[in-house]
Amino acid sequence: MKLQLTILTLFTTIFSFAQTTTDWKKNAFLFNPELLVGLTMESNDGFPNTKLQKQFILNFGRDHTNNPQQWAQELKRPITGLSIGITDFGNLDSLGIAISAMPYLEFQAFGKERWKVWTGIGASYFNKQYDAETNPQNQAVTTDLTWAFRLYLYYQFLTTKNIDWRIGLGYSHHSNGHMRLLNQGYNSFLVSLSAAVKNPLHIPENTTAKALPTYNKTVYNYFSLRGGLGQNVFALAFNDKKNVYTLAGEYGRVYNNTYKIAIGFYYRFYQHYYDYIEGNESLVQPGREFDYFRSNPWYYASNLGVTIHGEIFLNHFGIDLQLGYNLHKPAYKIDWRINQGWDNPPREIPLSWVLGEYDGSFKKKNRISSRLGLKYYLIGMERAPKNNFYIGAHLNANLGQADFTELSFGYVHSFKHRKKQ
């Protein structure tokens, strides 16, 4: 599953460099080396001592200032590309290094040329993981491949003919998407110094501006259906990956072939929850708190919710964010009881065992879901096709805490395209 996600993510970047065939691409290449330093936050009690975190990143991008497509003009001179970097978390013996690769999008902030927002999501390889015997203090990751996410704000403080010098401040995150426990993840805050090296063949704006088309404001409605296959683990005593099956739909609007907003629903079935109930495991046995779950394992292993959904289209590609509210997710109570009590719960949990309490954090995570990822559309959204299909890779979470990693396939039907009043 993770290998497929990595391949899909990297393909997304490769294809994004080949979406159009016009001459503007020949002048749009950018090279941006970057140095970052900052703090690796503690992932668990007894986390290894760390020195300053250090990163070196190479960003290979394309400036879309002269891209005639509507999404590029809507986003006001965006940059897309591939970011490759190496990270020293400040303790090589316990934390090791990570090598990351992620597609990214950069766009103006505050309506100012000097301010930029940079965001990317991809994958990282780690050479050090948690090990109960050799590396027990580092509970951040237990897999060699993880999701990687970055969000940064940059300020361009010096401009020369060939280089734009920038400083930045931002947040980096690594986790395996709940594919194996332990999975506390790495959270880091860093400052950055970078140099955006301009293409010496860059065409001056005044020679190309006349060639750029002018677009009417448009809006159209659509509906979409998708199916998803995810994977996660349940607890340390049930640390094998099992499937999460999803069926979802939504109805919404697309503005200017670039922005989408929608409302929808999802139904999920968790194989881990079903097997726990059907297998008559500890907490569902007669006389225990969840013994009534055995009356209908399928019902109690299901999850139903409603969503608000937003997306930015980059022609064939979409950057996708969803917030949801769980109307029905009863088995998450078992999940919480097991994973938020004493450490290392056994498969057979004694009556004397301290279980997780239903506190405020539980109430929020039991109700609020989130979903972040990337899509590839068969037909570019620039054309506003009546019928379209996509594949996607997403990380699903309970209010920011990883729930499962998912691959999905979807269908989109668009209604009549009209000018915006």
Do residues 27 and 107 both lie within one domain? yes
Do residues 226 and 358 both lie within one domain? yes
Do residues 299 and 413 both lie within one domain? yes
Which domain does 106 fall in, by range?
A: 2-211
Per-residue pLDDT of the chain (421 residues; tens, 9 = 90+): 554 455 455 555 544 544 554 555 656 788 999 999 999 999 888 899 999 999 999 999 988 888 888 999 898 889 999 999 999 999 999 999 999 999 999 999 888 889 999 999 999 999 999 988 899 999 899 999 999 999 999 999 999 888 999 999 999 999 998 888 888 889 999 999 999 887 655 545 544 445 778 888 899 999 999 999 999 999 989 989 999 999 999 999 999 999 999 999 999 999 999 999 999 999 999 999 999 999 999 999 999 999 999 999 999 999 999 999 999 999 999 999 999 988 888 999 999 899 999 999 999 999 999 999 999 999 999 888 999 999 999 999 998 789 999 999 999 999 976 555 5
The pLDDT of residue 207: 45
Q: 65-74: string of b/e by CB count within 10 Å (b at 16+)?
A: bbbbbbbbbb
C-alpha distances (whole Å) from 52 to each of 124, 169, 188, 311 are 20, 15, 11, 36
Do residues 331 and 182 both lie within one domain? no
Give the total number of structural domains in the chain: 2
Do residues 163 and 253 both lie within one domain? no
The pLDDT of residue 271: 98
- In angstroms, the CA 35 to CA 30 distance is 17
* Cβ–Cβ under 8 Å, residues 97 and 85: no
The pLDDT of residue 216: 87
Phi-psi region of 93 (alpha: psi -120 to 50; beta: other; left: phi over 0): alpha
Where is the domain boundary, 211, 227, 262?
211
Cα-Cα-Cα-Cα dihedral sign, residues 402, 403, 405, 408: negative
Do residues 202 and 250 both lie within one domain? no
Where is the domain boundary, 211, 244, 275?
211
Do residues 233 and 343 both lie within one domain? yes
Tokens of 216: 């009417």
Do residues 49 and 130 both lie within one domain? yes
54: CATH:
2.40.160.20
Do residues 148 and 242 both lie within one domain? no
Where is the domain boundary, 195, 211, 227?
211
The pLDDT of residue 13: 52
Coil/strand/helix, residue 267 = strand
* C-alpha of 117 from chain center: 16
Do residues 304 and 322 both lie within one domain? yes
Do residues 204 and 281 both lie within one domain? no
Do residues 76 and 207 both lie within one domain? yes
Give residues with Cβ within 8 angstroms of 66, minimum separation 6.
Answer: 24, 27, 28, 203, 205, 208, 211, 212
- In angstroms, the CA 157 to CA 173 distance is 27
The pLDDT of residue 2: 53
* Cβ–Cβ under 8 Å, residues 265 and 305: yes
- In angstroms, the CA 105 to CA 287 distance is 54
